[in-house]
Amino acid sequence: MSNLQNWIDKNTYHHSEFWDLKKLVEAKKKKNLTISLCLPTLNEEKTIGKELIIFRSELMERYPLIDEIAVIDSGSDDKTLEVAKNFGADTYLASDILPNLEPKRGKGENLWKAIYQLKGDIIVYVDADISNIHPRFVYGLVAPLIYRDEVKYVKAFYDRPLAFSGNVRPSGGGRVTEILVRPLFSLFFPDLTAIIQPLSGEYAVRREVLDQIAFPIGYGVETSHLIDVYHKFGLEAFAQTDLDKRVHENKPTQALGKMAFGILQTFIKRAKALGVFEKAEHETILRQFQAKRDQYEQNLIEIIEEERPPMIEIEEYRKKFKK
């Protein structure tokens, strides 16, 4: 078994492993940890109320797992902040945090400013557009950080189709992940292909990691986190949790194009800085995922892009056409 498969087996969880919230809260208390939940928003009035009700009820009132919930908004023009305030969240406009800095607009900006504004030892980020919200979106991510000191960064992934015939099913991320990020990681950062959904917007991170990494303010924030945390702390700092199904609005292809463009910029910047483009040999194995029952494993596909030279360099050609 490869090292990467070992890592996957050891660091991949399913949220149901952490159903015992009483035990989780006790472990958190014992380790004297504080946890902040950050919901970055931009026009999320339809879903934010429900997220707040459920998190406050289940993870503050019933089981005191999180210590604060903050909504950091990019300047919504709907009632997002009004609804959030009404349901008891601390609400902030991103531009009001660190007001001496030139304001920038993007999700990454909100996530970055949360590090300054929120108090927790652990910050868990959850997107505000999830319509099937459930407490697992938070406890599934913070649990590995509470139980295992060496884990610093926990990513969400979503899977478990309700019906699937056959033993093996393809698994992995969305379109941008499978078409752009996974091939890029396979080429230049093969270890990072162990992360099943590198672009998922839900993750929990220790403060000492968050304050050490840069934050692209746009689409590249998740990709840059993975590369930077991997570079500074190694793959062992990561874990990932299967949160089952996540229901949200599907983005049109054009929006994905914008996203991919932002991610590429971030990736190239980091790859250049780390000198990975200069490596003489890059990988020729594409690493995708498949799942057998509850086990995830990598599917390695060798893809060698061989080339033919320009025809003019072939002697027979030159002879035939007298060139």
Partner 1 sequence: MKDFTELKKQLSGLEDKLKKYREVLLANLVMIGEIPAPTGHEEKRIQFILNRFDEAGLTDSSIDDAGNGVGVLSGKESENALLINAHADTIFDTKTDHTMQVASKEIMGPGVADNALGLAALVTLPYILEDLKIELKNDLVLLAGVKSLGRGNLEGIRFFLENNKFDIKNAICVEGIQLGRLSYSSIGMLRGEITCRVPETYDWSRFGDASAILTLNEVINKINDIRLPKRPRTSIVMGSIIGGSSFNTIARDATLGFEVRSESQEVVEKAGETISDIVLEVSSKTGDQVELDIFAKRTPGGIPYSHTLTKCARSVMETLDIEPRLAPSISELSALIDHEIPALTLGITVGEQTFKSNETIQLEPIYKGMAQLIGTILAVDGGYCE
- Interacting residues of 284 by C-beta distance below 8 A, sequence separation 6+: 302, 303, 304, 305
Please spell the DSSP secondary structure of 206-263, one letter per residue: EHHHHTTS---SSTTHHHHHHHHHHHHH-GGGEEEEE------PPPPHHHHHHHHHHH
Does 58 participate in binding partner 1 (rule CB under 8 A)?
A: yes
Indicate whether 60 belongs to the interface with partner 1 (CB under 8 A).
yes
Q: Among 31, 62, 119, 318, which residue sits at the site for partner 1 (rule: CB under 8 A)?
A: 62
Q: How far is CA 165 from CA 169, 250, 296, in A?
A: 8, 25, 17
CA 276 – CA 131 distance, rounded (Å): 39
Single out the residue of 25, 65, 83, 187 in contact with partner 1 (rule: CB under 8 A). 83
State yes or no: residue 57 binds partner 1 (CB under 8 A): yes
Pick between residue 245 and residue 282 the one whose CB is nearest to partner 1. 245
**Site membership for partner 1, residue 169 (CB under 8 A):** no
What are the residues whose beta carbons fall under 8 Å from the beta carbon of 175, sequence distance 6 or more?
A: 253, 256
Q: Which two tokens stand for residue 120?
A: 């927790």
Q: Site mask, partner 1, residues 118-137, x = CB under 8 A?
A: -------------xx-x---
| Contact flags string 63-82 toward partner 1, x per CB under 8 A | ----------------x--x
Q: How far is the CB of 223 from partner 1 (least distance, A)?
A: 30
Could you tell me the smallest distance in angstroms from the CB atom of residue 106 to partner 1? 26
Spatial contact of 165 and 144, defined as CB atoms under 8 Å apart: no
Cα(271)–Cα(288) distance, rounded to whole angstroms?
Answer: 21
Distance CA 271, CA 189 (A): 9
DSSP label at residue 321 = T
**Count of C-beta atoms within a 10 Å radius of residue 175:** 14
Q: Which of 5, 14, 27, 54 binds partner 1 (CB under 8 A)?
A: 54
Q: How far is the CB of 162 from partner 1 (least distance, A)?
A: 12
Tell which one of 88, 161, 234, 257 touches partner 1 (CB under 8 A).
Answer: 88
Site for partner 1 in 32-51 (CB under 8 A): 45-47, 49-50
Which residues of this chain interact with partner 1, rule CB under 8 A?
45-47, 49-50, 52-54, 56-58, 60-62, 79, 82-83, 86-88, 131-132, 134, 247
